[in-house]
Amino acid sequence: MKIAIISDTHDNLATLNKAIAWINRNDIQKIIHCGDIASFETLQELSGLYAGEIQLVFGNMDDDYSLSETLKSHPLANVIAHRKIGIINIDDRRIAFTHFPRLAEDLAKSEKYDIVFYGHTHKPWEEKSDGTWLVNSGNLAGQFYKPSFATYDTATDQLELKVLENL
């Protein structure tokens, strides 16, 4: 299964729209959002643009916008929200995701997961140690670094960073 991993949207609808257009054209079957989407309106936009399943964890900015509380009272059919940590299994791959780097490091050190995704720093990063891949897909907001996201193919175990200006 092909998955897109996005993070730190921070209400930047222009970059979100560009990324989702590419995701829709490229048969991506699931999105993982590693937090800081920011507002409920941006989450509604994402949910409307992408018909597939969206797995979401909350970041520090989401708390500032009360996103988790709003989502409870206004659920979106294709959004599955977790608190700080999401855990899914796809094609025998154990995947964990969070917004926070320290939580991601702890998840990776537990050696329970094949891959752990996280956000917060806005900087694309990957490292593999003791059989666990630790990956930050960058940010869609374009803050500090160029807007980016990642794709992961569970069938081939292939990870790719996508920089929006190159799409």
Q: What is the pLDDT of residues 92-150, one digit of tens each?
A: 999 999 999 999 999 999 999 999 999 999 999 999 878 899 999 999 999 999 999 99
Query: Residue 136: helix, strand or coil by DSSP?
Result: strand
164 — phi, psi (to 5°)?
A: -55, -40
Q: Which residues have CB under 8 Å from 150's CB, separation 6+? A: 4, 5, 117, 124, 135, 137, 138, 159, 160, 161, 162
Q: Which CATH number fits domain 2-166: 3.40.50.1220, 3.60.21.10, 3.10.110.10, 3.40.50.2300?
A: 3.60.21.10
pLDDT in tens, 11-34: 999 999 999 999 999 999 999 999
> Among 37, 44, 41, which residue's Cα sits nearest to residue 61?
37
Burial classification of residue 25, based on how many CB atoms lie within 10 Å of its CB (0-12 exposed, 13-18 middle, 19 or more buried): exposed
